[in-house]
Amino acid sequence: MATPVRLVKLKCPRCAASHWVVDNDFRGLGLLGQRELDYDERAYHCPQCGEGGSGFQVQKKTPVALTLRAHWLFEILARHLGARRNR
C-alpha cells in the first residue's frame, strides 16, 4: 500500500536548483512484485534546467499529517509552491 502524499523539495543534480513535487515515500510497488525506489533513484524533471532522470536529492519533506488533516490546505500550499505531481 502506498503512503499518503506529501510535498518534497528536491535539488537538481545538474544545476542545483530546488523545486517542489507531490510524491509518496512508498508508492506500493512492492505489492506489484517490483522493488520500491528511493527518492534518489526515481525519475524527476527539473523545471529550471530541463534535466530529467534520477539523482535528485531530497532537501525537505512536509509532514504526512499535513495531508491527512487538512487536504484543502495541502492543495493550496502545493499550488503556491508550484509543486508538480510526480508519476
pLDDT at 81: 74
Q: Taking 80 as the threshold, does the pLDDT of residue 85 lie above it?
A: no
For residue 56, the SS3 value is coil
pTM: 0.76
Indicate the residue type of 43.
A
Mean pLDDT of the chain: 84
Q: How many CA atoms lie within 13 A of 47 on its CB side?
A: 12
